Amino acid sequence: MKLHLLPLALLALPFSAQAAAPTLPPELQTGLRCAALFSIVAGEQARQGATDWPPLTQRGREFFVRISARAMDAGKLDRPALQAVMQGEFSALRANPNRAALKAPCLAMLDANLPQGARRQP
C-alpha cells in the first residue's frame, strides 16, 4: 500500500523544490540584479579603471548591502540563500553580452535609493 504513494511523493518533489526558491517582489529582484552588476563593474573599475560608469566602489557597495538586507527580510532568506540568488545573478550577467543595456535603469535605481553624497547610517 505504501508503494502506491511513492510515485505521488516523487511527483511532488519538483514542486517542493520550486516552493523553496525565494519569491521576491520585482523591485527587489531588479535591485539584486543591479547590485550584482555594480559589483562586477566595481571590480572592473578596480582592475582596469573603467570610466564609462561613475565610480561604484562606495555607492555600489552600500546599495548592495541595503538591497541584500531588504531581500533577506522580504524573502525570509538566510545568508546561504541570498548567496545562491546572487550567484545566479552574477552568472546570468557574465553570460549576457547586452548587460550594458542595464546601465541606465540600474544607475537610476542607484540614484533613487542612494543619492550621491548619501552616507551610510550608523
Report yes or no on 95 lying in a domain: yes
Report yes or no on 122 lying in a domain: no
Report yes or no on 99 lying in a domain: yes
Report yes or no on 16 lying in a domain: no
Quote the number of domains for the chain.
1
pLDDT per residue of the chain (122 residues) written in tens, 0 to 9: 444 443 333 333 333 333 345 689 999 999 999 999 999 999 888 888 767 889 998 999 999 999 999 999 999 999 999 999 999 999 999 898 888 899 999 999 999 998 876 555 54
The three-state secondary structure class of 19 is: helix
The three-state secondary structure class of 55 is: coil
How many angstroms separate the CA atoms of 40 and 43, rounded? 5
pTM of the model: 0.76
